[in-house]
Amino acid sequence: MINQENVKRIKDIMFEKAKSAGFEAEILIHEEVSSSVSVKSQEIKELSNALLDKVGVRVIKGKNEGFASTESFDDESISNCIDDALAIAEVIERDIEMSLGELENYQDDMTFNEYVSDRFHQASTDDMRTKALKLEKEASSIDDRIFSVMATACSKGQSKETYLNSRGVEKSCASNSLDIYTYLGADNKVFKKTNYDVFSGHNMMDLDEKSFAKAIVDDAIALLDAKSIPSQKIPVLLSREQAPRFIGALTGALSAKAIDQKTALFGMCEGEQIASKIITIRDRPRLENHAAATPFDSEGYPTSDKVLIEKGVCKTILTDKYHAEKMKLPHTANGQRSPGSPVGIGAHLLSVDLGDKTFEELVNIYPKVFVVDDFGGSPSAVTGEFSGPAEGHLYENGKRKHALHDVAIAGNLKEVVKNIVALGNEYKPNYSGRIQCPYILVSQMDLSGTDSTDK
């Protein structure tokens, strides 16, 4: 990790060079350290440690903008990095003049609790090895139809984001977390099916190896009675792991940059009904106890929780500073970039409001429901079209009939989000993804299958 003395040195070199050239500048520092233990057949397969530190600089003057990054932090590399950014600024010209914000725009009087725990540091390599071995042993012994536990691993990582600019703003945010997963295969002499799951948190002791392994094994075994069904229109229940593909594409259409470039699915849709009245989606960058939470965006501005879609109506267009000024929209502090890239726009941490239905109630709403646990496609952010292979389970009259294979689902995101009829009442526990969804029931999608049910 980069110590404060080096941060000051980097800042002094970059800001002095930018000032001499008549530019304002901002620095983004990403620091990440991780370690992992993977096991196979009750032996350690791999021990790894990784360190990733990266410094990026962005310079602006009038309509000109440049950016560059480096993973080397000696004086020469830092000096070359700012020189590269200044050189790029000579050839990149934006539509309007830009500048850093006034100091008061960066001030943050809202509370924020970093996702950091001392339990992270208490997890030694031996602890991670022991946990991984126990999990693999449990997964291997539950059912004879498990032909292999291909991978089991325990990893931990900590990261820190630091933002500085030439007007004197300095802020940082840190997080740390532990992830444990296993990936296994089941075989009944007809099919071979695989399954996996991931546990995320701070404390390994929160994971019960027996119940975690059993759930993964049971799901893999359940896929072994797979059949295909004829092509048809069918109600689809998107799992909590697959629904984010659709919600992410939906909210991606609310980017001011996409609207400005005329690639947004709905165009300028603020105030319009774009989805079912039962769905509300929020950007929650200050959500407690989540590794993706952040108190500031990549331009250093304070984040805030906001409603993007309320009862199906678009309430917020996401902006960075540039597009807020260009399009005369409210600035939502949703600038996103890596140290070496230009600023983009995106939600920080999406959350779909919970509904009131249990899983059992959801699969009983229609006589026939396809529960999609895996989907090999994603909706186009521009057209909304999607098509891809899908796997999951067919339910009839609320009861599971069999797994489905050799099928695909297709449609258009615009129709899917309007056809949402019910939402689950729980999020997936110990889930660290940036899009938090319950089960989502869609009244119909096109399913492509076969007329043969003996496969």
How confident is the model over 250-264, as pLDDT tens digits? 999 999 999 999 999
Structure confidence at residue 110 (pLDDT): 85
How far is 200 from 178, CA to CA, in rounded Å?
6
Structure confidence at residue 290 (pLDDT): 87
pLDDT higher than threshold 90 for residue 288: no
pLDDT band at 138 (very low <50, low <70, confident <90, very high): very high
How far is 60 from 22, CA to CA, in rounded Å?
9
What's this model's pTM, rounded to 2 decimal places?
Answer: 0.94
Mean residue pLDDT across the chain: 94
pLDDT higher than threshold 60 for residue 191: yes
Structure confidence at residue 289 (pLDDT): 84
Query: Could you give all domains of the chain from N- to C-terminal order, each with its CATH number?
Result: 4-34+50-106 (3.30.2290.10), 118-160+168-225 (3.30.2290.10), 232-246+354-448 (no CATH)
pLDDT band at 452 (very low <50, low <70, confident <90, very high): very low
Percent of the chain with pLDDT over 70: 98
pLDDT band at 201 (very low <50, low <70, confident <90, very high): confident
How far is 218 from 20, CA to CA, in rounded Å?
65
How far is 46 from 76, CA to CA, in rounded Å?
36
Cβ neighbours, 10 Å, residue 100: 19
pLDDT higher than threshold 90 for residue 1: no
Structure confidence at residue 261 (pLDDT): 96
pLDDT higher than threshold 60 for residue 454: no
How confident is the model over 323-362, as pLDDT tens digits? 999 999 999 999 999 998 999 999 999 999 999 999 999 9
CB crowding 43-53: b at 16 or more within 10 Å, else e: eeeeeeeeeeb
